[in-house]
Amino acid sequence: MAIKKKHFHRVSIGAIVALAGTALPRVVLCAEVEHAGDGIEEIIVSSTLQQSRADTVLPVNILAGEELREKLGATLGETLQNEIGVNIASFGPGVGAPIIRGQGSNRVQMLQSGIGNIDASAISPDHANSLEPALAERIEVVRGPSTLLYGNGAVGGVVNVIDNRIPTNQFNGINGLLESRYSSAADQQISVLKLEGGVSNFAWHVDGVYRESNDVEVNGFAINPASVGLGQDEFFQALLRSKGRIDNSSTQADSSTLGGSWLLDSGHIGLSVNRVDNEYGIPAGVPDEDGGGEEDVRIVMEQERADFELQIPLTGFLKEIRGRVGAVDYQHVEVESNGDVGTRVEQDGVEGRFTFHLNTPGNFEGVTGIQFSLREFLALGEEAFIPKTDIDSFALFTVHSLDRGALTHEFGIRGERQSLDQVNGACGEAETSWSGSASSVWRFREDTNLIVSLSHSQRMATVEELYSNIATNCGELAIAEMVEHAATQRLEVGNPRSVLEKSTNIELGLRKHLGNVTGEFNLFYNSIADYIYLFDSGLYNAGTEIARYLQEDAIFTGFEAELSVPLLRTGDHVSDITVFSDFVRARFDHAGNVPRIPALRAGLEYRHSHVNWQAKIRLAEVSDQNNHGVNETPTSGYTMLNFYADYHLQWPGQTALVFIKGTNLMDENIRHHASLLKDVAPVPGRSWEIGLRLEF
């Protein structure tokens, strides 16, 4: 298998070099090349009503086209970490989950073209997400709970990775993309291949990605010297071994897809199949008081997925039906340093979503839909601290919009019935949760609008929050029988008596979406009753800390701000500057702070572009995080300096782009406060990435 992966990588690079070598003599520099795509009205796919970016009530980030390729990282968290309101909860270089407004894991809904990806990433922070950003056509990040209609797990927001696996348009001839990039911090190599075409009313799609990297290089020590007791030799030796790199952080992954669709006059019916293989290391923890430590663990993951999608126009009361169903077979094994398989995790399931667009008067729009999910979670082996569980849900929802000239009102409601049942025990839970939202958009100028929204959502506890180290009779296991979660270095204890988590969010937003000066400013207040969180108790059993899932009322407040202003508009030269900042403050009602909340961030980005090239420099300042939770350590702030430049080469029917990207150019030792592994897996040191992309 490794030979085939290497072969794919070499073939793709060879194809790029060959194409470049034959095409470059015919290069004609084209004055029509644009980097920013200014003036294009974008439709928000993640909006149930399919609204434009100017009209939606949702605070949204959109990455598409060249901007997506520019910000592309190995994981979704790495790709999105520079968007306002979004941070990363890294768990080593192979795992990077996005955090939205201080919310992550079970409170951020991860979608593959509108439905869940059914992997194990939400169950544990050391499990990588199976979504592949390198194959995305666009990524939409909707902040806040206004997207509650996608599920009761969308309290923080939604990340929707939208691809073209099932084509929706016909192609003239064969279109394709070849891309290869190399990054110095971990000797990372990424190759991407995509081909699309069609015959008559049939369109097809083929793609593939290969990624490989060595251990990540860092400035200084990977292990935080402040986290270890230097008086003991084992601690000191572990610290010395971590100098300059993160041990066991190498990765290797590949993904391939085949899809096709039958195109109708105003719709389509299609199918796609995809396979993902991913192997990555989890950096070992800090040695314990007895001089021992967690062993290096490799996770070997594979997922097979099939998707069916339809969009069919109707007549009469219903105008259109859209639907997607995905079936997933996911599994991974956790391989210990001696080669033994310590734990096997499986999750198989089917999830579907159908929306019915109502045939309504011109100023009124309505959508009604259903969503269902049938999953089975299974963990076997020495780290199987969650029992085999069936997880089923069924939901009904409806969204409506009323346009009254300069004012647009939107309201929706969702009801969901979810059940979790231990397969081999009497412990089970079933709840009905309700969510609703109401928003108004006031377009007081053609290019500017004001948004006010109120939403309320309920969330049922997830399988790990309920059943971690819980016996089949719903009682807590004895301490001696509990299974340690090696990746988080904790004995995690669930709470089978958890009640519904209830979130009430108020938001005020100002958005200027057209013109030379653009930007947005959002204020939010989110009161969450019975907030579920993992509490580090400060108590230990045989050197392992006991952590319990508890519930307590919490309040999240914060803001997001971004403003882009032109500095120069002359001839073929364009310069502009963007300033940005975001902040979340999360406190419990009684006392103390919610753990693992990102700190205040602010910065600026300067961009200069010409007809066929552009250059950007971005400076971000992250403050110290001293508002930490109980038994949680503070995290030092840092300055992140990044650079990006590209150059277009264009000729009839084909385009080439060469680019260079530099990250952490000040080579700082950076630790993300939201990461459970911040003391052993910092951000990579200074890194340069070069790449070449061909489109035809």
Q: ∠162-167-171 over CA atoms, to 5°?
A: 125
User: What pLDDT sits at residue 27?
Assistant: 36
User: What pLDDT sits at residue 41?
Assistant: 54
Q: What stretch of H or E contains 23? A: helix 2-23
User: What does the block give as tokens for 281?
Assistant: 């290391």
User: What pLDDT sits at residue 23?
Assistant: 37
What does the domain layout of the chain look like in residue ranges? 2-695
User: What pLDDT sits at residue 7?
Assistant: 40
User: What pLDDT sits at residue 48?
Assistant: 66
Numbers of helices and strands, H then E, in the chain? 5, 32
User: What pLDDT sits at residue 232?
Assistant: 66
Contact 141, 98 (CB under 8 A): yes
Q: How many CA atoms lie within 13 A of 636 on its CB side?
A: 12
235-244 own/partner pairs: CB under 8 Å, 24+ apart:
235/286, 235/287, 235/291, 238/286, 238/287, 238/293, 242/680, 244/217, 244/218, 244/220
Q: How far is it, in rounded angstroms, from Cα 65 to Cα 341? A: 41
User: What pLDDT sits at residue 18?
Assistant: 37
Q: How far is it, in rounded angstroms, from Cα 43 to Cα 50? A: 6
Contact 276, 300 (CB under 8 A): no
User: What pLDDT sits at residue 515?
Assistant: 87
Per DSSP, 625 falls in state B
**Phi, psi angle pair for 239, to nearest 5°:** -65, -45
User: What pLDDT sits at residue 293?
Assistant: 52
Q: How far is it, in rounded angstroms, from Cα 81 to Cα 542? A: 37
Q: How far is it, in rounded angstroms, from Cα 273 to Cα 328? A: 10
CB atoms within 10 A of CB 4: 10
User: What does the block give as tokens for 276?
Assistant: 């993902």
Contact 11, 17 (CB under 8 A): no
Which CATH class name applies to 2-695? mainly beta
Provide the pairing of β-strand 544-570 with 518-541: antiparallel
3-state SS, residue 148? helix
User: What pLDDT sits at residue 505?
Assistant: 92
Q: How far is it, in rounded angstroms, from Cα 283 to Cα 596? A: 19
Q: How far is it, in rounded angstroms, from Cα 547 to Cα 420? A: 22
User: What pLDDT sits at residue 288?
Assistant: 55
Contact 599, 673 (CB under 8 A): yes
Residue type for position 38: D
Contact 262, 202 (CB under 8 A): yes
C-alpha separations of 337 from 252, 317, 340, 378, 439 in Å = 17, 62, 7, 23, 53
User: What does the block give as tokens for 264?
Assistant: 């109708």
CB atoms within 10 A of CB 591: 8
Which parts of the chain sit beneath pLDDT 70?
1-42, 48, 50-55, 90-94, 125-126, 145-148, 153, 229-232, 285-295, 486-487
Alpha helices in 24-89 (DSSP H): 65-71, 76-80
Residue type for position 527: S
User: What does the block give as tokens for 233?
Assistant: 């030799």
CA–centroid distance for 333 within its chain: 22
For 612-666, what is each residue's pLDDT tens digit? 999 999 999 999 999 998 888 999 999 999 999 999 988 777 889 999 999 999 9
- What b/e readout covers 409-422, taking b as 16+ CB neighbours within 10 angstroms? ebbbbbbbebbbeb
- Among the listed residues 490, 488, 561, the one whose alpha carbon sits nearest the alpha carbon of residue 519: 561
Contact 285, 91 (CB under 8 A): no
Residues in the chain, total? 696
User: What does the block give as tokens for 68?
Assistant: 């997506």
Enumerate the β-bridge partners of residue 160: 111, 140
Q: How far is it, in rounded angstroms, from Cα 601 to Cα 113? A: 30
Contact 638, 668 (CB under 8 A): yes
Q: Find tokens 């009839």 and name the residue.
A: 652
Q: Find tokens 């210990």 and name the residue.
A: 336
CA–centroid distance for 210 within its chain: 19
User: What does the block give as tokens for 246?
Assistant: 């993160």
CA–centroid distance for 98 within its chain: 4
Residue type for position 658: V
- Among the listed residues 487, 450, 455, the one whose alpha carbon sits nearest the alpha carbon of residue 468: 487
Per DSSP (E only), the strands in 184-283 are 188-199, 202-213, 216-221, 243-246, 251-264, 267-282
Contact 518, 40 (CB under 8 A): no
Q: How far is it, in rounded angstroms, from Cα 564 to Cα 604? A: 9
User: What pLDDT sits at residue 476?
Assistant: 85
Q: How far is it, in rounded angstroms, from Cα 451 to Cα 508? A: 6
Q: How far is it, in rounded angstroms, from Cα 269 to Cα 643? A: 43
Q: How far is it, in rounded angstroms, from Cα 567 to Cα 544? A: 56
Contacts of residue 200, defined as CB under 8 A and 6 or more positions apart, other chains included, come to none
Handedness of CA 675, 92, 256, 123 (dihedral sign): negative
User: What does the block give as tokens for 9?
Assistant: 């990588």
C-alpha separations of 51 from 163, 351, 400 in Å = 19, 24, 12
User: What pLDDT sits at residue 45?
Assistant: 74
User: What pLDDT sits at residue 287?
Assistant: 58
Q: How far is it, in rounded angstroms, from Cα 343 to Cα 355? A: 39
